[in-house]
């Protein structure tokens, strides 16, 4: 069963530098929120980072094109199509001491339309700490994702994961999510 995949060199260093410069210049970074049953709020005991939401499709169209190819190759479920949540990516900045404790991006039990997989693209690697850690479903094994500029990580949104505290430098990443929808072509082939 698919739990996660890691793609080295999803973006090359020059692409990452260009995207990072654009993001820093364009973004109005704000403290990241945590969703609770009641509302979205700042809770720095759970999450301490800055985020902005940007549309990269016009300036960097290759991101979505490459993602769609990799996702359709890696996640092949009969009768389902991948539905990227939207063209808006979360640009995330973790400064020294920033982190995100163990959490899930999706519901415990997946249903159509909910987040199925999470996407993380590492935009730099000149920092210490800030390691993405992913627990498998048994929760007795943890995958530590080595930092490398341009790396893509796709994992089931139901998996618990965290970003350890940054010890030196600043960690930058792009984040997005996708859900599944029933394939209209699949229905036609059944008739």
CATH number assigned to the domain comprising residue 132: 2.60.120.620
Structural domain count, the chain = 1
- For residue 84, the enclosing domain spans 4-190
DSSP per residue over 58-127, as a string? TT-HHHHHHHHHHHHHH---TTEEEEES-SEEEEEEE-TT-EEEEE-SS-SS--TTS--EEEEEE----S
DSSP single-letter state for residue 163:
E
The model's pTM is 0.90
Task: Please give the Cα distance from 158 to 137 (Å, whole number).
Answer: 9
Q: What is the pLDDT along the chain (191 residues), one digit of tens a residue?
A: 678 999 999 999 999 999 999 999 999 999 999 987 778 999 999 999 999 999 998 999 999 999 988 987 887 766 677 776 678 999 999 999 999 999 999 876 666 668 889 999 999 999 999 999 999 887 678 899 999 999 999 999 999 999 999 999 999 999 999 887 777 765 444 44
């Amino acid at each position: 069963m698919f739990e996660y995949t890691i793609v080295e060199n999803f973006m090359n260093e020059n692409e990452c530098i260009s995207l990072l410069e654009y993001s820093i210049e364009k973004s109005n970074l704000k403290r990241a929120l945590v969703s609770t049953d009641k509302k979205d709020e700042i809770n720095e005991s759970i999450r301490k980072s800055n985020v902005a939401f940007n549309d990269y499709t016009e300036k960097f169209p290759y991101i979505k094109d490459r993602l769609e190819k990799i996702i359709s190759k890696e996640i092949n479920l009969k009768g389902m199509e991948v539905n990227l949540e939207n063209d808006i990516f979360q640009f995330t900045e973790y400064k020294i001491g920033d982190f995100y404790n163990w959490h899930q991006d999706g519901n415990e039990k997946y249903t159509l339309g909910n987040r199925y997989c999470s996407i993380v693209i590492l935009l730099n690697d000149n920092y210490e700490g800030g390691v993405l850690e992913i627990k498998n479903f048994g929760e007795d094994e943890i995958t530590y994702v080595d930092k490398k500029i341009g790396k893509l990580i796709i994992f089931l949104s139901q998996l618990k994961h965290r970003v350890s505290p940054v010890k030196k430098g600043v960690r930058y990443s792009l984040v997005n999510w996708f859900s599944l929808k029933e394939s209209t072509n699949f229905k036609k082939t059944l008739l």
